[in-house]
Structure 1
């Protein structure tokens, strides 16, 4: 996909008709749109989302997307419209997406209500010059760029660091599933489990013996409970995400209020740190469980090690283990029929009989090897046990430090919440009350998810036991046997599909993790490395001398932003690879990256590093940046690759003490609006 043009009419700050044209080729793949805060950079980012999907990320949803100046020009009761048109090229065809929304002005000052839903249309001219229109535009658009993936291609750079939080693991897993087209496999598994197996189970029970029928009915009841628990889990997950969206909006509102901005930013930083600590504690617990399961027995083998060592030593002194003569040596003498002293070993001779007697006492290679291994392992066990104790002690101390820091963070967060809750600013007090309520509700939903997962695990264990019992029940007739075979075949197919799902997801996770690390290490100035772990969490590690791989617990906002950006760049790259591969499932695609404020939380060196890599992130990159973010270093790195450049000139209402104009801000007597001017107006 290559974006060619975006036309706006009365959308948010953009009054009347405005147009942006984009240039993208091998040398000019970057478009930069400059603008100060409030000029409409985020509105333009949302314009892409609205024209494609009819949705935005604004706190007020789609209720305030109509331009105020356009609204002021019509009388109460009159109707006006806003519209967006996006033109892009994809696999040789040129597409045009158009979406409009009519509004009716109410009697209230500068307020309007939408008339019906927004109406999208999609048309295209294919590579042969044939013009076509889509009967189902939404479905066709979703095939071109899946809605689940759009947030990775059109994103707010100041918010992407949240991908580095543990809570984002579900988003990363969903992105991998979409990228691999695993929804198709999910649907196949669901169809088999919910319909086919259910019908075949009913058919089998009709011809079955009482024992077999009872087991099938029990299995059906448990499967129904599993489905119910999964539904509860999915509902709770959806609710939790909804609460998180509202929490993010409240946090963003805080950061717009000057009097509490510092506290809000401090709280965001503390919550990120707490989330990281909880992730590290979970990882520490898993690693410790793995070590204990592998070597925990060493803690209880002190007496046994001593006893076995003494027994082996006694056997060694007696010459029993290992025996002084090897069996293979005697076999060679018997084969040659001659002793090393020259005595002939004829069949039936006393000398041969004596040697054959020694052969029965001699040590075999397997026994001697086992003896050597046992002695070697016994000598190593005390050392390994001490190492186990040392590692457990180190982890316990680390866990204690984490818990202390987590407690301190919770206390700091309580103080901030108390301070905001007692603020003299009524809006702040109201926001904090709502935030507390949302936090409580989200915690309840998270607990529901945990309970549902535990219940599903227990129910699956019961199902496994029932399947083993079913295998023991003998068929009573040929008809019953056929019905059972069909059911078992369907269950085997579902199991195979589920295994395929896991294998493809794991393969993609590993491949994507390698790409993320390559990008991450090329940008970061520290000797760290990144990976997507088995829980689909973005994590940063370092090698500690004498200890080995250790997680980085206190990541800066910049490091979180770098690893999140590395993940997004890797997604874009992997989608491009899959587009070339023309796979059976999701065919991938060549997607642009549209980034709002990608340099916001970074210091000068990080900005320069990321700017250096931006041309390599995607075939087309569109950047929205303020002057403070578009530093000299960033400009120097990106300038050779810039094909188009625009400046957003914000016309702000006049206010007392703020009458002066700048290159990017002009004063007006009416409602605010923004004009798009081609070129860069400079700092």
Structure 2
């Protein structure tokens, strides 16, 4: 692609119609555009993107509200403020036109894309025209052209043709340069077409071999696998706990029997009586624990409402009055709107307006409560019903039930005290006390372990059922997936195509990298001031890392390069890649020379730019290119402009010179 011109009509600071001619010649491939910061250089770059790609320039797929907002922000504010009468006679009052040539179907075509925006009536509407070799194409042909443009010169490749000083400085870092070179190679050698093919094939495989059903099954399969793993881990832990508990239970049972036998031998019949007492104590403690919990729950949850019973009754009364008041108001409203004349006629009577009003008043009198009620709570039906239920449950029967529980608890406490006293009286004998204490400890431990073992067995049973069910589900899913896999006829072939594509890209890249190495080495040698410094630049085709070799074939540490030399290296690599591609690319270079010293600047304008591309658009400030550099670049310059922003008029004027610089006259005498 070669840009011939761009026309900005009321775009950004460019008020009115402004034309930049970018036509170049074989020996004059540079367009020089000067401008201070804020003069409109960024608007120019954005206009190129917008003219070519429309919504894609801002990352949108189609014309949308957000895209139109972006366009509105780019329109000239002075023109937008004009009255409708001032602009109605002008066509394409707000527009961008870009003229360029492009190879399509092995033929060079001259193309113009015109994007115009109608601002009245609001909202802004966009119109796009494509003129090919002087003839405006149809809508169908326009779609085909933009499809070809996005394929042969996609927005991502255009972005790679924009260079600024900050970006080049950023590329002096080796990792960034390698990554950039990898992306540039993919785009410029059309390898991204194969990558897109691979992506499409993978999408095809996902869509054809991975139906929604299969995707769902695979998700279920993964979920079941994870659940099985978890359940098996839990089962193993439970079985370990079961084994440990059984061992501990057996030990305590044996010890309990040993102590019990000793006690039976020495204590005789007293043991049986004591065992009954101890069992009764255990039962009483269990019953009291249950009663205490009931009493505590009553005290915490219900007792406050028993204490505040009068207030609770008043609250219920108020809620019911409020409810009656609301119902009365609704009923009164409905009575007022009743068609009483029709109702009376239906029963064969005749009435007048006064009688109908009297009938309504009578209905209101007998059906509606007329007492005024202060609305205090305004509770919902659900909230009111909860309060009603609370009052209903706060009754004497409930209170008596709690009192009986308290009395029962006291009776059990008395019995417990008596039984414990019997045990203490019986256990005062020192020869039995130690055995009795041991039996109690072992008996308590046995009971505790039996409960734990029972719980563990239940958990093992539940987890085993869960595992069995998961296994059945897993096998069913596997069978369903197997049946789907059998229907894939193109799966293997698509994978082969992807593998062949990868191999082709790899081989193609290796061949192209050799050309890049040759051209980059040649240019870097010409640009760098140190002669006989390097022999060759090597590029790894796998990760695009750079190696610089000296004339002894030893690697040069790139850290010894100055910042300027690293920038020259990055530019040489970019130039080598462009040369290897043999593509026509418009290269836009913004403040390229800002960080370089004078010698390196001179090398770039005299050695690199004349060869850099078929078309170089150089954007520069007045401090970047001085008189000497201007004289060095003048011979290869096809056109030069200065963007002058008038802050009082808030508009940019395009002037046909470069900061009023002119070549010095050479004295031949």
TM-score, L = length of structure 1: 0.47
Larger radius of gyration: 2
Question: Which structure's residues are more often helix, by fraction?
Answer: 2
